[in-house]
A = this chain, B = another copy of it.
Amino acid sequence: MERIAIDMDEVIADALAKFIKLYNRDYNIPLDLKIDAGNEIYHHVPENVNQKWFDYINEPGFFRDLEVIADSQRVIKALQQKYDVYIVSAAMEFRNSLIDKYDWLAEHFPFIDWQHIMFCGKKIVDADIIIDDRSKNFVNFKGRTLLYTSPHNLLITEYERVSTWEEVAGLLL
């Protein structure tokens, strides 16, 4: 059975929407803020608060109530019939994210058991397919790479791209 490694933030969990919500609460950034292609959230907020995202992300609870990306639950459940599916998140960057991400997965993806969850730094994962929004995670990966669309990666052209979980289903199921 082929192994798939699936990222969390911007792939199954909407971290960007949470950043915008917090910047809206604290600095009146509009909730319908559009991030330009190639940009990160910090390019679209006043310079004096453009590092505030780092405080937000380090706060306990940040990752606990993220919205689930549309259709990811249904499609991943279907993928499990055909593949050995792993969630692989670079959670180690943020100490306080560990328990939030663990509990978030238990709530929204209860059909993924602990054996199939990996919190790491560099993604040195032995898998056949990786689905990720950060192409830096593809650098040493030997299998098939699917770049999951997020504003920050829109200018990257060298990888196979998916923009919805429906598209993932179309390619892999």
Where the two chains meet, the residues of A that have a C-beta atom closer than 8 Å to any C-beta of B are 3, 86, 91-93, 95, 98-99, 102-103, 113-122, 124-127, 140, 142
CB-defined contacts of A124 to chain B, threshold 8 Å: 3, 86, 118, 125-127
Cβ–Cβ contact A114 & B99, under 8 A: no
Partner of A95 from the list B99, B113, B142 (CB cut-off 8 Å) is B99
Taken together as a complex, chains A and B put the C-alpha atoms of A102 and B98 apart, in Å, by 9
The count of identical subunits is 2
Asked, given contacts A98-B98, A126-B126, whether A120 binds B117 with beta carbons under 8 Å apart, the answer is: yes
Taken together as a complex, chains A and B put the C-alpha atoms of A140 and B117 apart, in Å, by 17
Taken together as a complex, chains A and B put the C-alpha atoms of A148 and B103 apart, in Å, by 32
CB-defined contacts of A142 to chain B, threshold 8 Å: 126
Taken together as a complex, chains A and B put the C-alpha atoms of A119 and B88 apart, in Å, by 10
> Whole-angstrom distance from the CB of A129 to the nearest CB of chain B?
12
CB-defined contacts of A140 to chain B, threshold 8 Å: 126
